[in-house]
Every structure is written in C-alpha cells, then in structure tokens.
Structure 1
Amino acid sequence: MARILGPVLGPAAEAEAERLIGHFGTLARLHAASTQAIVEASSDGEAVAEALDAARSFTVAAARERLVGQAVDPDSAQFRDYLISTIGMRAEEVVHMVYSDERGLFLGDDLTNSGCAASSMIPLRLLVRRALDLNARRVVLAHNHPSGLATPSKADIAATSRANAVLRALEVRLVDHLIVAGGQVCSMRALRLL
C-alpha cells in the first residue's frame, strides 16, 4: 500500500497507508471503498484516491483479462474470485452484468451502482442494450449485499424474475444471478429461484 502511495506522498506514504488501513479496518475494505470515502478519510484526499483508483483498476483489468476467451461458469472458483474482488467488499450496492456468446465465452461486462430501490436494482435498459450490442446469448448477473449476508431477498427474487422474462423474450439466457457478500457467493439458480 505504501508503495502505491509513494509516488504521490513520498516519505509520508507509509504513515498514510497505516492510517487508511486503520480507518477502514482491513485492506479488503479499503480496496472496496468508494472514491469519495477515500477522499474523506485521507489527509491528501483526491491524490490518494486517484492513486488507489488506478491500482484498483489495474487489478480488476488483470482479473478481467483472464476471463477473455474463457467460458463464463458461475460455479468456477476463478469466476467467483473475480466477482469477489470486484464487488464483494463494496460499501454501496452495485450490479455486475457479464455477457457471453452462445458457447458461453466471455464477451464483456458492466458494473453499475444500483442507485435505486432494490426491486428495480437491475438496470434493464443497460442490460438489454449491451446484450444486443455484444450479440450476447447468455448473461450472468451478480450484485453485492454490503450487509454481509449473501441470502437473496424478496426484492432480489422479483428483480431476477423480471430480468429473466425480458432476456428470454430476446432469446438471451439468464444463466444465473449471484449474490456476493464479502467472500461468500450465493447462486439463485442453485437455490432454484431462477
């Protein structure tokens, strides 16, 4: 952490790294913190947040790169690790949409703040637009529960049902909807809720 902050803070990097880790409690929580939360917690605000955002973007891009050309399997440890690293510890609820072709090969993904009521958390317009743009035939949805409980709520079940109906009408298969909480991943398909 201090090495990431070194180019920005120089000799003060180690003390700032310790202070931020102390503030957020763990490296994982710091890694998942919003840019605004880092700005507010840091003594050097925006510069520190920028450096941490760059490091975070790098790790997510590297994890995403490993998926390119691979089958999207919601049961695989590699795919679940990718979801845990991108959304598992976030303090705000986000939706992660992963698109694949008819063979299940990764085409792309989108991450968006849900920013709305839980019952309409899945951004259907974005989901449909991207699926059609990528000529996707399969989609895996995932969202996080900042509460730490990876159990689907009634709103999650209703939103999943709605997304499934919309995608099915467009001949796109909703493979699964995963709920990520910390290091836990819950499959709605495995629970027979999809």
Structure 2
Amino acid sequence: MSVFKEQPLPFLMDEALAAAPVGSKQPSSYNSDHRQRLRARFMAGGAAAMPEYELLELVLFRAIPRHDVKPLARALMDRFGDFNRVIMASEARLRDIDGVGDAVIIELKIIEAAAHRMARSKVMQTQILSSWDALLDYCHTTMAHRETEQFRVLYLDRKNVLIGDEEQARGTVDHVPVYPREVAKRALELNASAVILVHNHPSGASTPSHSDIDMTKRVNAACDALGLTLHDHLIIGKSQELSFRSEGYL
C-alpha cells in the first residue's frame, strides 16, 4: 500500500489555510468522511451523480485541505451562477470572494485551461465545415462566459482544414476594435484561403449590432479584394449562437 497522500503544493498550503472562510473549520473526521463520500460518488457516477456545487467542492479540495469548502463552493455558485461561470470568471472577480486566494485560483484556472485545450484539439487540423458542431462547442467553451468581448479569427486552407485560430482583439463589455486589413494580412501570412470570424456578446444575446454588421461587410470586402473567402461570422451568446451566413447577412 502506498504511503503517499495527495497534498497541495507546499508553497500554497499556508495561504490556502489562511484563505479559508471564517467559521469553515470542521472536525477532521467530518471533513475526511465528507470528502471520501463525494469522491466515491464521483467515481461511481461521474459529474451527473452530483450537483454543480459539489463538483466545485471536489476542485476546491486540492486547494484547501482540512477545511469544509462547502461554504466557499456555495458562495462562488451564488456569485457567478453555475460551474462554468465560476471556472471562467476573471482572477479579479474571484478574489472578491472571501476565502479565494492563489491556491483556489490556480486550481480553477487549470480546469479552465484543460477544458479549452480539449475543445480546441477536436477542431484543429480538421475539415471544419464537416465538424461544425465541434467548432460551435469549442467557441462556446472558450468564449460564451467571458466578461468582455473577444474577437477571434479562424483560418482555413484550400480544403477548409483549420490551420490557425487566433485572437485578433479584446475589448470592453460591448465593443471590440477590429481591423479588416489585419485580418486579411494575417490570412496571407498563413497561406489561408478562407476565414471564419467569431466574437462573443457578454450580455448573453446573440443578435448582431449595427457595428457588427458593418464590420463584417468591411472584412468581407477586404477578403474579396485578396481572393479570400469569408465563410461565416459567428456571434457567441451565453447559450446560443448566431451565424451571419444562416441569417442572410453574408
């Protein structure tokens, strides 16, 4: 039998203990039994076997040892609404929650990075027009819960294989600056033949604004001038997306 036990990173242990919410200390037997029960339930039934706040507890176990993390999990869920929004929340907003320090943020951001990487691996170097659902899943995973607008450009080769996925700009809660010439210039640098534009609406709505429509027309004109194809422009909302191509804007 192994004598090794899972422990948090040593340099974060003191901070994690200090960051635990006031009044969260429970008898060690309670914490040990509770953690074992949650882990056993997860191993037996996966995420479907538990509510989201308990799934969040499992993540927090590694950051805060020997303390009851249920109050912190509840506080995070109350503030951000669901598991996905907790994981995607900015560091600054997470630190507003009593009990959140570097140890907690590191664990949450590892989960976020892993989710993004897994979603991205399903679309890179694939024929994107025949993997549209995977592309939408990737866009929602990486962009749907962002608190500010992000504009991404997907670059495709002659066979519509995704060869590049790059952030072109970041903005505010309702605006992101986009430069059509830069989009077209980067496409030529990558030897791309087509592009797909993607940006999110932090408000949650996927309806295009007048500036969205105008910007798309300008990017399309820049692409036409260089023999590039603008396949689509996707607006990613909280739970849905809008395709400019499907809605007749392109």
Q: CA RMSD in A?
A: 2.5
1:119–1:159 CA contact under 8 A, matched in 2 = no
Q: TM-score, normalising length from structure 1?
A: 0.86
Mapped pair 1:109 → 2:165: yes
In 2, the alpha carbon distance for the partners of 1:125 and 1:98 equals 15
Mapped pair 1:34 → 2:90: yes
Deviates more, 1:53-62 or 1:70-79: 70-79
Q: Secondary structure at the match of 1:11?
A: coil
In 2, the alpha carbon distance for the partners of 1:123 and 1:35 equals 29
Residue matched to 2:151: 95
**Per-residue deviation, 1:188:** 0.8
Change in Cα spacing, 1:133 to 1:9, as seen in structure 2 (3 Å) is farther
Q: Which of the numbers 48, 54, 59 marks the counterpart of 2:104?
A: 48
Mapped pair 1:6 → 2:65: no
**Pairwise mapping of residues 15-164 of structure 1 onto structure 2 (< 5 A)?**
15-41=71-97, 43-73=99-129, 76-111=132-167, 114-115=170-171, 121-124=177-180, 127-164=183-220
CA deviations on 1:32-75 (whole Å, 9 max, x unpaired) are: 32232222235233332222122111111111111123112298
Higher strand fraction: Structure 1 or Structure 2? 1
**Per-residue deviation, 1:6:** 2.5
2:173–2:202 CA contact under 8 A, matched in 1 = no
**Per-residue deviation, 1:143:** 0.9
Question: Which fold has the larger relative contact order, with Cα–Cα distance below 8 Å and residues 6 or more apart in sequence?
Answer: 1
Gaps of 5+ in 1: none
In 1, the alpha carbon distance for the partners of 2:130 and 2:70 equals 38
Q: Which of the numbers 148, 152, 169 marks the counterpart of 2:225?
A: 169
Q: Percent identity?
A: 30
Q: TM-score, normalising length from structure 2?
A: 0.69
Larger Rg: 2
